[in-house]
Amino acid sequence: MKNKASFIPQEGEARPSRCPDNTAFKQQKLPAWKPQLNIVTVLSSFFLTGTFCLTVGVCLILSANSVREIQIDYSDKCSECSKLRENTSNWNKECHCSVNFTLKEDILGDIFMYYGLQNFYQNHRRYVLSRSDAQLLGRNANIQNSYCAPFTTYRNGTPMAPCGAIANSIFNDTIDLFYNLNSSVIQVPLLKTGNSWWTDKNVKFRNPKSYNLSSAFAGTARPPYWQKPVYLLDEEDEKNNGYVNDDFIVWMRVSAFATFRNLYRRIRRIRQFADGLPAGNYTFRISYNFPVTKFKGRKHVILSTVVWSGGSNPFLGIAYVVTGTAATLAGFLITAIHLKLRKKKTYFQK
> What is the per-residue pLDDT across 85-137, written as a single tens digit (0 to 9) for each?
888 777 778 899 999 999 999 999 999 999 999 999 999 999 999 999 999 99
Looking at residue 285, its amino acid is R
**Residue 298, domain member (yes or no):** yes
Model confidence pLDDT, tens digit, residues 1-34: 555 555 555 665 666 677 888 888 888 888 888 7
- Which are the contacts of 164, defined by CB distance < 8 A and separation ≥ 6? 130, 131, 132, 146, 147, 148, 151
For residue 114, being part of any structural domain is answered with yes
Sheet of strand 184-187: strand arrangement: 96-103, 280-287, 174-181, 184-187
Asked if 208 contacts 216 with a C-beta cutoff of 8 angstroms, the reply is yes
* Distance between CA atoms of residues 254 and 260, nearest Å: 10
Q: Classify residue 110: in a domain, yes or no.
A: yes
The better pLDDT of the pair 50, 89 is held by: 50
Percent of the chain residues topping a pLDDT of 90 = 61
d(CA 133, CA 205): 8
Over 70: is that where the pLDDT of 67 sits? yes
pTM of the model: 0.81
Residue 154 lies in a domain: yes
pLDDT digits (tens, 9 = 90+) for 285-332: 999 999 898 888 999 999 999 988 888 888 999 999 999 999 999 999
Q: Once rounded to an integer, what is the mean pLDDT over residues 189-195?
A: 93
Instruction: Of 2-6, 81-85, 227-231, 238-242, give the lowest mean pLDDT range.
Output: 2-6
Helix (H, G, I), strand (E, B) or coil at 331: helix
Q: What is the mean pLDDT of residues 205-234?
A: 90
| Residue 324 contacts residue 49 (beta carbons within 8 Å) | yes
Buried b (16+ CB within 10 A) or exposed e, 88-108: eeeeeeebebebeeebeeebe
Q: Where does residue 33 rank: exposed (0-12), middle (13-18), buried (19+ CB within 10 A)? A: exposed
**Nearest alpha carbon to residue 98 among 243, 284, 319:** 284
Of 317, 290, 309, 293, nearest in space to 301 by CA:
290
Gap between the Cα atoms of 188 and 112, Å rounded: 12
Dihedral of CA 267/269/275/277: which sign?
A: negative
pLDDT score of 261 more than 90: yes
Domain that holds residue 155: 55-315
Q: Please give the helix or strand (H or E) that residue 194 lies within, else none.
A: none
Q: Are strands 111-118 and 174-181 parallel, antiparallel or unpaired?
A: unpaired
Residue 308 lies inside a defined structural domain of this protein: yes
Q: Which residues contact 32 (CB under 8 A, 6 or more apart)?
A: none
pLDDT of residue 12: 58
Over residues 218-226, the mean pLDDT reads: 91
Give the separation between CA 140 and CA 157, rounded to whole angstroms. 16
- Has residue 336 been placed in a domain? no
CB atoms within 10 A of CB 208: 19
DSSP state of 238: G
Helix, strand or coil, per DSSP, at residue 289? coil
- Count up the domains in the chain and report the number: 1
Among 322, 279, 346, 344, which Cα is nearest to 60's?
A: 322
Read off φ and ψ for residue 53, nearest 5 degrees. Answer: -65, -40
Asked whether residue 83 is domain-assigned, the answer is: yes
From 285, 311, 316, 294, select the one nearest 111 (Cα to Cα): 311
Q: Is residue 124 domain-resident?
A: yes
